[in-house]
Amino acid sequence: NEFLKKAEKSSEKEVKRLVGNVLEKMQKEYQVDVAGFGNRLRIEHPKVWKKVKKDWDQTFSETQITYD
């Protein structure tokens, strides 16, 4: 049980690190939304999407993204 808990925490930490690295590259280095955040925004918040769609890549590169 103890080993599994440690392994789970270690795996969770590594996944968070990897996801953070990918988001950093998408936003800062490439400045493109390859994960489809804009599409999700378009579906869930169409009024907001209409305001930002023209400059979405720039907006995306400056937006704080939280994940769990």
Task: Show the CA angle centred on residue 33, arms to residues 16 and 51, nearest 5°.
Answer: 120
Specify the DSSP element, H or E, that contains 32: none
Over range 54-61, report the average pLDDT: 94
> pTM of the prediction?
0.77
pLDDT band at 59 (very low <50, low <70, confident <90, very high): very high
Q: Closest Cα to residue 63, out of 34, 24, 30? A: 24
- Answer for the pair 57, 33: CB distance below 8 angstroms, yes or no: yes
**What is the rounded CA–CA span in Å between residue 64 and residue 57?**
13
Q: What are the pLDDT digits (tens) for 3-57?
A: 999 999 999 999 999 999 999 999 999 999 999 999 999 999 999 999 999 999 9
Domains contained in the chain, CATH given: 2-62 (3.30.300.210)
pLDDT at residue 68, rounded to an integer: 82
pLDDT at residue 7, rounded to an integer: 96
- Taking CA atoms, 25 is separated from 2, 7, 31, in Å, by 35, 27, 8
